[in-house]
Chains A and B, each alone.
Chain A
Amino acid sequence: MTDRSNDIDPAERVRQLQARRAAAGRTPRAAKAASAAATDSSRATAASTAATSRPKGKPRRRHPAAATRWLLGGLSIASFFGIAGTVAVANVSAIAPPAPAGAASSAVAAGVPAAATPVTAKATKATASTARVAHTTTRGS
């Protein structure tokens, strides 16, 4: 077999190809185009349906750590409330029960552990009042 393609000049080759295409007819392409145009509308409808509803075959795959996320979130929130509750209970138990009127002034004078108290300007002013001292006592625990 001999390859004649090299013998023919490019312009002639193009002409031959066009002729062959014409002989083969445009029917297949035309048919494809026509069928594509016909299915376009149905495809658009299908796409809109897919957007609104998930395909029924496979459910969406969950992330492997999805359960751990819930667990961590729950544990964090539980720890938060647990710690806050423990601190509150400890402070409530640390506050001395109401003393008799005579002993009240001495209890206030005995004061609060200063090291555990935030020494802000407001706090310094506040130590004057009994209520503030009671509040400060709770900060120390």
Chain B
Amino acid sequence: MRSQTWWYAARAGGIVAWALASLAVITGLQLSTRLVSKPAPNWVLDVHRFLGGLTVAFVGVHVAGLAADQFIGFGPVELLVPFASSYKPAAVALGVIGMYLLVAIELTSLAMRKMPRRTWHAVHLSSFVLFVVATVHGITAGTDRHNALFQWACLLTAALVLMMTLVRIWSPRRAARSAASATTDAP
């Protein structure tokens, strides 16, 4: 195997993991906003879960590629401890934090039925933070950050996620639900 193969695997794994995480966030927002009526919710939910699992797999490829690459010299400390890397400490730390967030979101989703829904939801909301952290990590630490295609993909995806998030915040369905819960909570 050539010495640079692991480096290519790490780069490609990171980009694919970011794309899959973005798609998972978009399908999750579609579930909560029902912005598009056509795909059935059970279909979207299944795709959303599958995308989450695939994201974890490709983050694994990304981390394994970095660990196996001899040149960059990332050991367990650099890969697992934020700000331990000498190469762009802040940018790499964002990736490490994003990895922990992803693991937390995935584990709580797997144990969703065994834990309070409020706790699960609180952890699941951190997927917005994960999206931001992963995007900034890709833009600041990624070797392919100068690629125009990657830049456009980041821009368009971020715009779509932002738009769907705003729809979710201001959707009448959510407002009605929160009003109803306020009524029931009131003494």
Contact = CB atoms under 8 A, between A and B. Distances in A.
Interface of A: 63-65, 68-69, 72-73, 76, 79-84, 87-88, 91, 116, 118-123, 126, 132, 135-136, 138-141
A129 to B, nearest CB: 12
Q: Decide if the interface of chain B is mainly helix, strand, loop or mixed.
A: helix
Contact of A118 (B19, B54, B72): B72
A87 B19 contact: no
B40 A139 contact: no
Contacts of A123: 71-73, 87
A63 B43 CA distance: 8
Q: Which range holds the interface residue count of chain B?
A: 20 to 34
Could you say which of B9, B11, B16, B86 has the most chain A C-beta atoms within 10 Å of its C-beta? B16
Contacts of B88: 118
A122 B73 contact: yes
B7 interface: yes
A80 B16 contact: yes
A116 B85 CA distance: 16
Given A80-B61, A116-B146, A123-B73, 11 more contacts: A69-B46, A72-B54, A84-B9, A84-B11, A87-B144, A91-B4, A118-B71, A121-B73, A122-B73, A126-B71, A138-B4
B12 A65 contact: no
Interface of B: 3-4, 7-9, 11-13, 15-16, 19-20, 40, 42-43, 46-47, 50-51, 54, 58, 61, 71-73, 85-88, 143-144, 146
12 contacts: A63-B46, A64-B46, A68-B46, A69-B47, A69-B50, A84-B9, A120-B72, A120-B86, A122-B71, A122-B72, A135-B71, A141-B143
Contacts of A139: 7, 71, 143
B43 A87 contact: no
